[in-house]
Chains A and B, each alone.
Chain A
Amino acid sequence: EVQLVESGGGLVQPGGSLRLFCAASGFTFSSYEMSWVRQAPGKGLEWVSHIRTGANAIFYADSVKGRFTISRDNAKNSLYLQMNSLRAEDTAVYYCARENIVAAGNDFDNWGQGTLVTVSS
């Protein structure tokens, strides 16, 4: 069974940092591209960042570029999101999502349960 389990969320002050983790199991992690997607309270879905299988290509939303860093450790079946210079508008549930490789598009067939990040003083 495919499982994605996020952790690392919490309360942080504006300007602070946080590192999110996504532990993957039940599939060959190194063969799948991965993304982080977030959802502010009561709002819609916002894609944040994407990483290819070998981390040879990485993409960011403009809203987080220069502040967030996505990475992965295929040996540990883990995905990460380092978040620096956090702002109130970064408050959201952060999901890690596995790319659907059945089709060649960038959509997501498995999602974690999410971890809540709250940026507030």
Chain B
Amino acid sequence: DIQMTQSPPSVSASIGDRVTITCRASQGISSWLAWYQQKPGKAPKLLIYAASSLQSGVPSRFSGSGSGTDFTLTISNLQPEDFATYYCQQAESFPLTFGGGTKVEIK
């Protein structure tokens, strides 16, 4: 199974900050990596697929990069509605696996 390791587990940031979250796969997954945002009591929301493709309707301040084993989600100009937990997911092969999550909190 492919293990996904996300860091940091949590980050405190202020409105307008730039936040970077990393995700590492235990083996190469090409660009088959997705990022989700989840708010308390809500379902996850797809932000990025294929490592760097922005899902329709997602603000352009969200961006993804990487390939192989190392990936990054960047949130530029952090907005109040961006405080949430973010998960990466490898979409390359079954069993599908998620990272442990990164909680973005208000500083």
Query: Which residues does chain B contribute within 8 Å of A1, judged by CB atoms?
Result: none
Q: Is A105 within 8 A of B43, CB to CB? A: no
How far is B87's CA from A62's CA once the two chains are assembled, in angstroms? 21
Q: Knowing A44-B87, A105-B32, A113-B43 touch, does A61 contact B49 (C-beta < 8 A)?
A: no
Q: Is A105 within 8 A of B98, CB to CB? A: no
Q: Is A111 within 8 A of B96, CB to CB? A: no
> Which size bracket describes the interface of B in this complex?
20 to 34
Q: Is B94 within 8 A of A105, CB to CB? A: no
Q: Is A47 within 8 A of B98, CB to CB? A: yes
Q: Is B43 within 8 A of A47, CB to CB? A: no
Asked if A72 is an interface residue, CB under 8 A from chain B, the answer is no
Asked if A95 is an interface residue, CB under 8 A from chain B, the answer is yes
Asked if B76 is an interface residue, CB under 8 A from chain A, the answer is no
Query: Which residues does chain B contribute within 8 Å of A107, judged by CB atoms?
Result: 32, 34, 46, 49, 89, 91
Q: Is B46 within 8 A of A108, CB to CB? A: yes
Query: Which residues does chain B contribute within 8 Å of A89, judged by CB atoms?
Result: none
Q: Is A114 within 8 A of B49, CB to CB? A: no
- CB-based closest 10 A-B pairs: A105-B91, A107-B34, A111-B43, A47-B96, A105-B32, A59-B94, A107-B91, A103-B50, A45-B98, A106-B91
Q: Which residues on A are within 8 Å of B, measured CB to CB?
A: 35, 37, 44-47, 50, 59-62, 95, 100, 102-103, 105-109, 111-114
Q: Which residues on B are within 8 Å of A, measured CB to CB?
A: 1, 31-34, 36, 38, 42-46, 49-50, 53, 55, 87, 89, 91-101
